[in-house]
Amino acid sequence: MNRVFLFLILTAGSVYSQIDSINKLDEVVLHGNFSPVMNSGYEIQVITDSVLRSNYVSLGELLQEQANFYFKQNGAGMVSSISLRGTTASQTGIYWNGIGINSALNGQTDFNTIQANSFDKLEVRKGGGSVLFGNGSVGGAINLKDEVRFNERKQFEALLGMASFDTYFTQLTGIWGSEKFYAKISGGVQTSENDYPYLNSALKNENGAYLNYNLNATLGFKINELHSLRFNSSIFDNDRELSRTLTAESKSKLENEDRRFLVDWSYLGERFNSSFKIAFLQEEYSYLFDKDIPEVESMGSSDRLIGKYDFTYSLSNDLFFRAGLEFENAKGKGTNISSVSQNDFTGYVLMHHQPWEKFKYNTSIRAGASSAYDIPIIYSIDARYLFTSSFSVRGAYSTNYRLPTFNDLYWEPGGNPDLKPEFSSSGEAGLDYQNKKIHISGAWFMIKSDDLIQWRGLNGDLWSPVNVKNATNQGFELSASYRYKREDHAFDLRTNYDYTIATDDETGNQLIYVPKHRAGLILNYSWKKWSFNYNLQYVGKVYITTSNSQTLDDYSLSDISVSRSVFKNLIDLNLRVNNIFNVDYQSVAYRPMPGINYVFQINFKL
């Protein structure tokens, strides 16, 4: 509490010093929580719609290529989970238009159940962000954003494609806009036998077929110059058989259904702007132990009703406050969970201040209450200093939490209703250089986590979660890009390298499935109507046992693609070859990934 009291004193002092110097404000801009302004001490990466719509891929595949993230996949098209800065999948916050969508049941997001090109923009922020974003954002956060643009436009796109292993897909998108109205409807389907051979083995990916549907809608209404109303919906159905391993056959099957609906009322004034959101999120799953015996299954579902109010008040061009309140009612039930319900209420306050032209910082605090557990008070401070218009240094420190899930609390048998939230402290320091052609960024980070939730065997076959594990994650990240354009030639080169040491504080061993070394390279070259792409990914070896006695080998993957625009740029043709050197690799033990494979797609634009 002493730290909270000090925070409030500093905040109040800053406000008082600015009261007498309020100037006329510049044009007001509505900054979201993922904007660089709210994250002065962090690096924000934005993946635009031109990248999202160029290929029909899952969210995990896109982030692995564009952001150098590490994913564990139980085979192609199977369950895919993220590890960011060595944290677990439930310690990375995934948001949809600012609403957290990690599962209420297990706290994670399966990145093969989200279609990347269904959205207009991805906002990626590494580093602890629980104060600003909420539960789970220990390693970082990702926001899937649908944009509303009030201008005259009519646009239709149809993407059709086929790929190896009897894979076929299509995505249709229609956009209509005016000065008062906006609508975007997008839907697609993907089906695959997914029966790729296991390299260096007589086996193939049996029982790996899948069928995906997605339907997304965005509607916007501009009521007047100050008020606007937006509606978003996202529906995804996934029906997939679960692949065999190198050591065991499988006849299991998993069906997922995700329904998300959001209404957002925005107000944009001269000094004050606000956003009031109401969201309803529903998830259901059905797991068949044997697809030929459908009556033997395990089921689960959750319903979440979320109300969220965020507002910003500007005292001057150099000083503003942002605050928010969020209420969530979550209900869950299933084969191993009796009908349960819990209520969470949290609120935060952030102050952004730029006392000098070259220096700016943010301070923030979040507190809350719950019917299921005690939510800790957490806080954050981040800052950036510009030595020149091109070169800057930045730093950040924050405390963060990850709340127990329904499975942790209520699973029968074994759930533990007395669990505490996981707690962590995170710090980082970075250097950034940018001009018209070159962008170089480097950052060192450290995460100290306490009371990590771990499922442990108690007696016989009974397992239960307990707060027992502490961990330390540290390392550094480097990225560089170079762009060059002359007449009809355009050249774009991007590289990334991440070094991560994530250790169990008790044993000193590296955490499982956390590669120490990871690197990526993307080379794009375009000439007139032609474009060429080369993508290289390197993943270092990972330990698959807590004793660090067994590992998965490191691997390098190379993908290439070539595209050509025809008929006055109304049609794009694209051929992509993945894993061109036919590398035999696994991201999860005993679950091989595909060797060389091909994707061909046609994109019609009207």
List, for residues 210-248, the tens digit of each pLDDT value: 999 999 999 999 999 999 999 999 999 999 999 999 999
Q: What percent of the chain has pLDDT over 70?
A: 95
Using a CB cutoff of 8 Å and minimum separation of 24, what contacts does 167-172 make?
167/191, 167/192, 167/193, 167/194, 167/599, 168/192, 169/56, 169/601, 171/56, 171/115, 171/117, 171/118
Is 481 inside a domain boundary? yes
Instruction: Please tell me whether residue 396 adopts helix, strand or coil conformation.
Output: strand
- Asked, for residue 11, whether it belongs to a domain, the answer is no
241 contacts 207 by C-beta, under 8 angstroms? yes
Domain that holds residue 577: 27-605
Span of 6-15, 64-73, 551-560 with lowest mean pLDDT: 6-15
Chain mean position to CA 433: 25
Name the phi and psi angles at 223, rounded to 5: -70, -45
- Domain contains 472: yes
Neighbouring residues of 187: CB distance < 8 A, sequence distance ≥ 6? 171, 172, 213, 214, 215, 216
Q: By C-alpha distance, which of 465, 434, 432, 470 is closest to 452? A: 470
pLDDT of amino acid 30? 58
Q: Is residue 13 part of a domain?
A: no
Domain of residue 570, CATH code:
2.40.170.20
The pLDDT of residue 469 is: 87
pLDDT in tens, 287-304: 999 999 988 899 999 999
DSSP string spanning 23-91?
Answer: ----------TTSGGGGTTS-EEEE-HHHHTTS--BHHHHHHHHS--EEEESSTTS-EEEESTT--GGG
Distance in angstroms (rounded) separating the CA atoms of residues 389 and 92: 32
- Determine, yes or no, domain membership for 12: no
* Residue 70 domain-assigned (yes or no): yes
- Gyration radius of the chain over CA positions: 24
In 438-589, which ranges are E strands?
A: 438-459, 462-486, 489-504, 517-527, 530-539, 542-543, 551-552, 555-566, 571-578, 586-588
Task: Give Cα 402 distance to the centre of its chain.
Answer: 16
Q: Place 57 in a pLDDT band, splitting at 50, 70 and 90.
A: confident
Average pLDDT over residues 425-445: 95
The confidence score (pLDDT) of residue 29 equals 55
Q: What is the pLDDT of residue 25?
A: 52
Q: Which residue has the tokens 């969530």?
A: 328
Cα dist. 37→29, 42, 325, 384, 590 in Å? 11, 10, 20, 10, 45
Give the total number of structural domains in the chain: 1
Question: Average pLDDT in the 579-606 region?
Answer: 95
pTM for the model stands at 0.92
462 class by beta-carbon count within 10 Å (0-12 exposed, 13-18 middle, 19+ buried): exposed
- The 3-state secondary structure of 418-449 reads CCCCEEEEEEEEEEEEECCCEEEEEEEEEEEE
The pLDDT tens digits for 72-89 are: 999 999 999 999 999 999
Q: Other C-beta atoms within 10 Å of 568: how many?
A: 7
In whole angstroms, what is the distance from residue 605 CA to residue 570 CA?
5
pLDDT digits (tens, 9 = 90+) for 546-560: 999 999 999 999 999
| pLDDT given for residue 216 in this prediction | 96
Q: Which residues of 489-503 are buried (b: 16+ CB within 10 A; e: fewer)?
A: eeeeebbbbbbbebb
| Block residue for tokens 């679960």 | 242
Residue 9 has φ and ψ, to the nearest 5°, of -65, -45
9 domain residue, yes or no = no
CA 441-444-448 angle, to 5 degrees, is 145
48, 121 contact by CB (below 8 A): yes
> Minimal CA–CA distance to 57: which of 70, 76, 84?
76
Helix (H, G, I), strand (E, B) or coil at 16: helix
Is residue 209 within 8 A of residue 238, CB to CB? The reply is no
| Residue 2 covered by a domain | no
